[in-house]
Structure 1
Amino acid sequence: MTNTTVHLAVYDTLADWETGHATAWLARAGFTVRTVGPVAGEPVTTLAGLRIVPDLPLGDLRPEDSALLILPGADTYDEGDALAPFTAKARAFLDAGVPVAAICGATAGLAREGLLDDRAHTGAASFHLAATGYRGAGRYVEADAVTDGDLITAGPTEPVAFAREIFARLGAYEGKRDAWYRLFHDSDPAAFAELNAREA
Structure 2
Amino acid sequence: MGPKLTISPTTIHDAFIVEPKVFGDERGWFTESFNAKDFSEAIGLNVEFVQDNHSFSRQWTLRGLHYQMEHTQGKLVRVVAGSVFDVVVDIRTDSPTYGKWAGVELSAENHKQMWIPEKLAHGFLVLSENAEFLYKTTEYYHPQSEACFAWNDASIDIKWPLPVGIQPNMNAKDAAGLPWGVAPKF
Normalising by structure 1, we get a TM-score of: 0.24
Output the TM-score relative to the length of structure 2: 0.25
Report which of the two has the higher share of strand. Answer: 2
Higher relative contact order (CA 8 A, sep 6+): 2
